[in-house]
Structure 1
């Protein structure tokens, strides 16, 4: 098997690099020098790989041939000996909800400088249909001086990593593949078949593969927006949304989606990539964007509901203290990307409620850097205590063991976003 470089060593790139490292030499490239040093010392802050796996995979140096194994690097020169490059860098949105391709373009320019005849560049980062061939390939040609589909080739195989999921992992999820020519498409498909136990699906074109990724998460976003809108309606009706969903769920073909805050690296971002392409082509995607609007409104709804419940219980809102349990975008996972708990915190503070957040899974430094928020420790919470409101935002297993009486006032509002607390102590659920 050819030597592989995986560009980006985050939630997607690291598991991919380690899977290929069992079969060939893999350079895991990342621009974060601290991250590279941690990985080479067996430390993975994303918790997707343990120290034993990382250290046992480090079986070669970049100067040797004919071995297999993994090494992390931030040196561009270490990429020159590779012949297959897999790009897994972030593709976020900007403040206007437009695709931010700067990380992707930067990685592509870097690869263009080391690209050689016969090399293949495979993109896994989420993009809109056409991005690989229309945005990335011209950069590769310009930087390398090589001709696309003559001197070098491209492919697209959308990532399907589910952070924190130890059951549905990289190798157990079917992989969509594609290539810029029929022969390259087959080569890329065979490459992934080596590591993907669930098998592969070879798409007929790169654009089809790109579109398949965009609609996977747009579909989930729209479905969740539907039940979130139901929650807004049923709150006005005066009935519990989860009771309604439990009753409706007795029908064999009812889809079991739950209401909630929709953040994370995919569901809250990918629909905007599809919408961006649609608008470029003169079509306004009503359903996709309306779903985004509903899901983005949930944090404000929860904050206003908490305040109304406080008023109903004669709890003074201005100067009150609220505790939010969790800031990661999902339970038992350290990933804070695009968390909507930040919006919830902002909304509560706007009402004059002093709001603390506690999360044993999240990195304090990362939360401070990304959102300007200081996480509380459970020790801080127990000592400062006396909260007027508690919001279960993320159902980490540590939170399920908590006794709220230890840090709440006698009169307290409890809002259970996740529907995991004893209903006897809950004032409202989403």
Structure 2
């Protein structure tokens, strides 16, 4: 292999592409059949949505599933159903997509940021209790990248303080903690079907639960406040039309058939990649505990130490790695509390106290992840072959040799 870096015109370490989404004529056929039927809507035009909801609930080992237009809305449905009131506080991590916290704002509640653990980049249970006040009503642990949070510790804290737990499993389709599917462990579990996700229809979301009351409320909220058994123009709750279409449902049902084998492959590749990375100075994969019985690797994350790579900044390293053909990304530029939404308090809500101020919030682990440490390899890359994982490692070593040894 040429030692000239690809970013400088050399040969790439990884030469194949990693397409996403993966589909064939089966997906085309099922969507075509819905289109040809003329029954596109929901719930008055067929039962494909209900069929998919039952399939996904069974997949997760949950009693119920409520589909909706996206993962952000599924979080919002869960929060409202869990009984949060204006002015209540909800504990969230700062290293996640904006929706984990912005949906709390939409509910007229206050996000309280608790730092992540340096080994996992998930919500650190040891720091949760110090953030709990009399106004705290819920915790939203995010299974970031598909790596399960320490759910035993989080559930223990929640039980002792009478808090609801809503799992943000937007990255975690098919992942497991102690043999249980993520999303099925807390009071409710929220998933996204946005185009980058391990299970996708381009857009969409779903929330699972075993709680009869939570299901009834969420089911009503996503269907303009209607209730089961009620009349079409009777509205009992302040919901909206958050329903998905028949076309999305059949596409998701078809994609769900592919998910178990894809998850197994990502899991196997992730274990192998970690084994290979352990021999590279300056590359530290996130820690995977024994409780994690399946990792779906929506994102494979490793911590980058610039001092072992000629002190080149993380952003430059990721640029060089991408040029080598590795499907990678530098991650979030800063923690959520540094977003203009929070710094400027542009909430447009009436119940968030004037005393709430995010300008002095500092979560050191999240800060380091954003600025200097975290490098992401994307889930489509984790569907590669064993030799592709070796190619990813070769690319890292090639960069290291070039910047440290100048060869």
Q: Please indicate, yes or no, whether the TM-score normalized by the shorter chain is above 0.5.
A: no
Higher relative contact order at CA 8 Å, sep ≥6: structure 1 or structure 2? 2
